[in-house]
A = this chain, B = another copy of it.
Amino acid sequence: MIKVGINGYGTIGRRVADAVRLQNDMTIVGIVKTKPDYLAREASSTFNVFANNKENLKNFEDAGIKASGTVDDLLQSVDVMVDCTPEGMGEKNREIYRKNKVKGIFQGGEEANVAEQSFNAYSSYDRSVGKKFLRVVSCNTTGLARTIYPLMKKFGVESVDATLIRRATDPNDSKKGPINAIEPSLKFPSHHGPDLKTVLDIENVGTVAIKVPTTLMHVHSVSLQTKSTPSKDAIMEEWGKFNRIILVSGKSGISSTSQVMDLAREFGRKRGDLFEIAVWKESLFISGNNIRYIQAVHQESDVVPENIDAIRAIMGDADREKSITNTDNTMGIFKREL
């Protein structure tokens, strides 16, 4: 039984914690929170809650939320810490994990060099087995890796050119903007291009990121050059082999991210999450070796199954297929007719 700690219980941390609970080869020893807020209170009915330091521990007591100690206590009894702290804190935390001989899995907000290897279950599991530190790439990069990997494997991919229309902030946030503007990234390529190359061996990856006023999902407009010339059906067939890709259609009433997330709510998962990348069938367009398609990414949850597989990989479990199948089965990720 792998003993897992979760450092940071925000958008990603709480979802990874719940996903670990569904596995039968790992268990949550505790989660680390800084503030005794409503998330801490809800978490305390399911998990052992630890404060990030002694000062904050007192705040938990004052708020009437049971805390089991500080992160230092938790580190004594875990094999691996999934670090879901705000971006930029991972590097500092890594040294604490190292000192305590605990493995660490970081998120895509960290620089790639925080870990020995960046992780995507489809494309870089094998390279990640038994490492001390892994980094699960960001929601956007995970989305790109998921749908490009099957095409690369089957048809070969020369180059990728993608425009990422990014959500402004997450649904639980009411501070950030923009609320009435479109905000382009002013660097080319955006960091997603180089990031994709940490998990997928493609030489040319160009990405542009543009922020828009929505909280539901990211949308990617992807254009890529394949080495061979696939048919539409052949591409659909390849994608159909991977459970973490879901094909949706305007014909069945799914014409925007509003309906994609509404569909996800019908799946009955906690928080209405969509772990899969949703690709619009109608958006697939082929012209010679140029393949175009549009996909939607649920930024709050698509990396959650990857974190579960990363836990197995980092603990030395070399059976990629078995891990992915276990994760998918326990999390209710299966092929759906839509």
Contacts and interface: CB of A to CB of B under 8 A. Distances in A.
Contacts of A265: 270-272
A172 interface: yes
Given A37-B253, A272-B272, A266 B42 contact: yes
B41 A259 contact: no
A255 B180 contact: no
Nearest to A255: B174
A270 B268 contact: yes
Contacts of A233: none
A39 interface: yes
Contact of A171 (B248, B261, B338): B261
A271 B272 CA distance: 5
A14 interface: yes
Contacts of A263: 38, 42
A337 B36 CA distance: 13
Nearest to A36: B252
A267 B41 CA distance: 11
A338 B266 contact: no
A216 B14 CA distance: 21
B258 A174 contact: yes
Contacts of A258: 171-174
Nearest to A269: B270
A172 B64 CA distance: 38
Interface string A327-338: 000000000011
A254 interface: yes
A252 B174 contact: no
Contacts of A201: none
A281 interface: no
A254 B41 contact: no
A256 interface: yes
Contact of A252 (B14, B41, B338): B41
Nearest to A263: B38
Most buried by B among A173, A180, A272: A272
A270 B332 CA distance: 14
A211 interface: no
Interface of A: 14, 35-39, 41-42, 63-64, 171-174, 180, 216, 248, 252-259, 261-263, 265-268, 270-272, 337-338
Given A38-B254, A42-B263, A172-B262, 7 more contacts: A14-B266, A38-B338, A173-B258, A174-B255, A180-B180, A268-B270, A271-B272
17 contacts: A36-B252, A37-B252, A37-B253, A38-B259, A38-B263, A39-B253, A64-B337, A171-B216, A171-B262, A172-B261, A172-B262, A174-B256, A266-B271, A268-B270, A268-B271, A271-B272, A272-B272
